[in-house]
Structure 1
Amino acid sequence: MNTLPPLSDQVVVVTGAARGVGASLARKLARRGAKVALLGLEPVELKAVAAQCGPSATSWEADVTDLEGLSAVADRIKEHYGRIDAVVANAGIALGGPMMDSDHRAFSRVIEVNLLGSVATARAFLPALAESRGYLLQIASLAALTPAPLMSAYCASKAGVEAFAHSIRAEVAYQGVKVGVGYLSWTDTDMVRGADEDTVLRQMRSKLPWPANKTYPLEPAVDRLVAGIARRSAHVYAQAWLRGMQPVRWLLPSLIAVVGSRDVAKLAPQLAATAASRLRAVGAGGAADTANRSQRTDHG
């Protein structure tokens, strides 16, 4: 017998909700009757998405790498709604190109936002989820299942969040909290479109084997995430074929090492010539994170 509460009875927090997967997820959850709290760095965009989610939706400006600020927001959200039933750790940025050509601070920031930001999200919201016997969904990626040259920061961060979520699942289960991992392949978002603006990265991606070389529509992918949240699934696959990657993932590092090295060698001159264009995170979300850091430095 299914004893899970319907989404219409739940308060769901979504980080990285100003655009892309987070914004679409908030809208779809709201259509199912959930009360959604949207977190991110872009207050104007967050308010616009919240307005699309109905009168019970709220928006909260928060940096997931700022544990103190994030914990304060978590307390305010719980005070506002009285409870928090589910949290989706979705906030993330990406950086492309060879690791040795990258800016170390920008590379480290991907790890900080994607991995340590997810840790901070868990720290801030797990007390409320323990009270409600709720659900934490960590958004990972195809990048957690397979390595990819020119994406080392993103792959490292997403492999890290996958391992983190699997690890804490056993730690919080006795409190009635369920933990899931969501996997997405290339999905039509600002982040992916931003990466595709780089001609060399787009060429590299086109050389991936099918079906990993396609860009998938956003809405069906998010429908699968919503269904996973409703079921409080341990694994949620935004594209159905990703499930089939699990049994063969152990083969992929050796395969990528051989095939990927050839492709990188062919593109090396172009990569070197365009290295200066890859010193910041891609897409509008990456630009927002860069602006946020600049403001904090100026005010610090």
Structure 2
Amino acid sequence: MLCGKVVMITGAARGIGASMARLLHQRGARLVLVDIDEHGVRALAGELGDDVVVFADDVNDFDTMQAAAETAVTRFGAIDVVVANAGVEHWAPVLTVEPEAFRRVIETNLIGVFNTVRAALPSIIAHRGYVLVVASTSSYTALPGMAAYGASKAGVEQFANVLRIEVAHHGVGVGSAHMSLVDTPMLRETRSSSPEFTTLLAALPRPARRTVTADKCAARLVDAIDKRKRRVDVPRWVAAARWLKPALSSPLGDRALSRQVARIEALSPGG
């Protein structure tokens, strides 16, 4: 089903986006790769070869995303699938997070998703295509220090839910992807820059602190595109977090992580 389809992927230079691009290219899809990392995304395009067009754009700029979508339609005739994958994360408690860092996470992870989808949507509707919005387990769960990330991922899940209703009568499918820890450069960078983040992860139940490879995650997401799934959870246990959300956000669910936060604050300078 994917052979010959035009798939637009943001955050394509590395991690999940790059792994998806490789798998989709193997299945015969034509690719529109977008990433602010020009060197990385062009290197990937050089690796893949034919039927790939590249844009070194920032998803936070709607005008450039719209121009990229229009250029892609001119080149390939359509955008059949859009994957709003670009995202960033930053660990810091609300009390100490820099406002600009908080804003950057919200803008990239939420406004960037809107810009991506909105730019591609006319072609998606015209071709009865599919939208995949990359959310997270953080759509369902709360991890201290990740207020901006959690808010943005809860927001994009609801964005996908609303969009699904709006475009269903056009024959367009909308899915949201929810993954736990994926071994990507972004996760490794957050762990390296924030030892507190690593400490909190260690307090999570064993399944929640295990990482999944980017390739395994990408395989599940590509399968979701092929089957036009409404939701994809990686690993599969993440689906339970969605159903257990009320319990996870109860006083009992908060207790263990609250104790960890108290310990981290006590050990920090001035704590």
Task: Give the TM-score category using the shorter length.
Answer: over 0.9
Partner of 1:202: helix, strand, or coil?
A: helix
SS of 1:158's equivalent in the other structure is helix
Which residue number in structure 2 is paired with residue 259 of structure 1? 256
Instruction: Give the structure 2 partner of residue 269 of structure 1.
Output: 266
Cα drift, residue 271 of structure 1: 4.4
State the Cα deviation string for residues 169-214 of structure 1 (Å, max 9, x = none): 1001111111100111101001110111122211111111121111
Q: Match of 1:3?
A: none
CA drift at 1:221: 1.3
Pairing 1:208–2:218 present: no
Shift of 1:68: 1.1
Partner of 1:85: 80
Number of aligned pairs?
269
Name the structure where helix makes up a greater proportion of residues: 1
Residue 139 of structure 1 contacts residue 181 of structure 1 at CA under 8 Å; is this kept in 2?
Answer: yes
- Equivalent position of 2:114 in the other structure: 119
Q: Secondary structure at the match of 1:8?
A: coil
SS at match of 1:41: coil
Identity value in percent: 38
**How large is the Cα RMSD of the aligned pairs?**
1.4
- Which residue in the other structure is 2:4 paired with? 9
TM-score between the two structures when normalised by the length of structure 2: 0.96
For the Cα contact (< 8 Å) 2:203–2:257, is it kept in 1? no
Question: What TM-score do you get using the length of structure 1 for normalisation?
Answer: 0.87
Q: Aligned-pair distance for 1:53?
A: 2.2
Alignment of 1:277-292 (within 5 A): none
Instruction: Work out whether residues 148 and 256 of structure 1, in 8 Å CA contact, stay in contact via their aligned partners in 2.
Output: no
Q: Which amino acid aligns with 1:268?
A: E
- CA shift in 2, pair 1:191/1:270, >3 Å: farther
- Contact 2:133/2:176 (CA < 8 Å) preserved in 1? yes
Change over 3 Å in CA distance of 1:272–1:96 after alignment to 2:
farther
- Residue 269 (structure 1) shift: 3.3
**AA at the equivalent of 2:248:** L
- The alpha carbon displacement at 1:244 in A equals 2.2
> Runs of at least 4 residues of structure 1 off by over 6 A?
none
Which of 138, 143, 147 is equivalent to 1:148?
143
Alignment of 1:232-251 (within 5 A): 232-251=228-247
Q: Is the 8 A contact 1:30 1:54 kept in 2?
A: no
Distance in 1 between residues matched to 2:166 and 2:257, nearest whole Å: 37
Unaligned runs of 5+ in 1: 1-5, 275-300
1:97 maps to 2:92: yes
2:229 is equivalent to residue 228 of structure 1:
no
1:104-134 CA-to-partner distances (Å, cap 9, x unmatched) read: 0110110001001111112111101011110
CA contact (8 A) 1:47 1:58 kept: no
- Shift of residue 273 of structure 1? 6.5
Contact 1:36 1:53 in 2 (8 A): no
